[in-house]
């Protein structure tokens, strides 16, 4: 018997503030990665306005401090803490993990990068996969014990993994994760990393639900943010074609952040993880050969496959141990 999809009272037009109306997050310790621009700023601001103790994990701490100041003024609340985090640098991730003290209740893996061509980290890893997936994987696994403390402290901890409709373009190529043999296509590389974000939520929930930790992936929808600043002309043309085909309609950042907040605070996802959310609802699953234009709000099977998720977790852990 097919399980009914999880639904909420919110829609594609809902804003983060609307999701949080009447929600008191006092004492909820939160990390938001990539919180110096776009969705990250709005996600952090909305959580702080609801009383959460927010840490902005950003590459540019000067920009982060400016965001923290703006959030403090706009919410008349506690100024968010700012810490440096470069997800493409294993040392940076390790430094944040070791510096964290006490429980963590909510981890929002929001940061992301898009490249116009092939770029690699110091480890030789393809930059989009390394940043969008491996860096967040290292951060979450490193903070597992803090999340477990948070779960015991407040009857549950949550991870939100920001994915994308782009996941529908590619599964995981385990034979060539870092484009060492195949020709480089930045859109396929980005898609692979976004599929990985969803698979992380699947396996993290399987492994950690017994610790009171659940993870869900979200598609925020089409939002004009700094993420597009490195797009090539071809990427821009592809985006325009997708919009023209009705694959997405642009949202405001307030609406885009709403689905992350739904996964972070609503009771429907308090103890249920391994899902992919779109427009504030659990998305329906489509076959791997489904056409994106016909299923703009679906999630492909390869992004929720438990066997693939388990394999990716193992491969990711091995890479980080190397």
Would you name the residues annotated as active-site residues? 190
Tell me if residue 262 falls in helix, strand or coil. helix
- Bridge-partner residues for 268, per DSSP? none
Kindly list the strands in the beta sheet with 53-58, ordered across the sheet, starting from the edge strand earlier in the chain.
81-84, 53-58, 29-33, 106-109, 157-162, 213-219, 276-278, 281-282
Give CA–CA dist 201/159, Å, rounded.
Answer: 8
Orientation angle between helical segments 61-75 and 38-49, nearest 10 degrees = 40
For the beta carbon of residue 96, count every other beta carbon within 10 angstroms: 22
Q: How far is CA 278 from CA 11, 143, 148, 296, in A?
A: 9, 26, 27, 9
Structure tokens, 285: 């699953």
Q: How far is CA 26 from CA 47, 53, 72, 82, 281, in A?
A: 10, 7, 15, 19, 26
Give CA–CA dist 50/83, Å, rounded.
Answer: 21
Burial of 275 (0-12, 13-18, 19+ CB in 10 A): buried
What does residue 159 show for φ and ψ, rounded to 5 degrees? Answer: -120, 135
- Bridge-partner residues for 29, per DSSP? 53
Q: What angle do CA 208, 139, 98 make, to 5 degrees?
A: 105
Give CA–CA dist 60/96, Å, rounded.
Answer: 14
């Amino acid at each position: 018997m097919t399980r009914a999809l999880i639904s909420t009272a919110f829609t594609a037009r809902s804003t983060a503030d609307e999701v949080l109306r009447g929600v008191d997050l006092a004492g909820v310790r939160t990390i938001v990665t990539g919180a110096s621009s776009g969705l990250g700023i709005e996600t952090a601001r909305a959580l702080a306005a609801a009383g959460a103790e927010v840490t902005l994990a950003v590459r540019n701490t000067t920009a982060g401090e400016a965001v923290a100041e703006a959030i403090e003024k706009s919410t008349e609340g506690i100024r968010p803490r700012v810490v440096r985090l470069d997800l493409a640098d294993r040392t940076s991730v390790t430094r944040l993990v070791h510096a964290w003290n006490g429980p963590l209740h909510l981890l929002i893996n929001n940061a992301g990068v898009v490249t116009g061509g092939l770029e690699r980290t110091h480890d030789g890893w393809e930059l989009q996969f390394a940043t969008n997936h491996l860096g967040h994987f290292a951060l979450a696994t490193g903070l597992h014990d803090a999340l477990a403390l948070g779960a015991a402290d407040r009857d549950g901890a949550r991870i939100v993994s920001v994915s994308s409709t782009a996941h529908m373009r590619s599964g995981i190529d385990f034979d060539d994760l870092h484009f060492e043999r195949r020709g480089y296509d930045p859109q396929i590389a980005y898609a692979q990393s976004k599929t990985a974000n969803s698979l992380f939520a699947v396996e993290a929930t399987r492994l950690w639900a017994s610790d009171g930790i659940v993870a869900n992936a979200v598609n925020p929808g089409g939002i004009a943010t700094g993420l597009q600043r490195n797009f090539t002309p071809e990427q821009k043309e592809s985006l325009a074609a997708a919009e023209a085909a009705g694959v997405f309609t642009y949202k405001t950042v307030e609406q885009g952040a709403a689905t992350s907040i739904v996964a972070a605070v609503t009771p429907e996802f308090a103890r249920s993880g391994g899902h992919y959310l779109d427009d504030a609802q659990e998305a329906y699953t489509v076959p791997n050969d489904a056409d994106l234009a016909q299923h703009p709000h679906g999630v492909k099977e390869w992004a929720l496959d438990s066997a693939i998720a388990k394999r990716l977790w193992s491969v990711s852990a091995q890479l980080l141990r190397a």
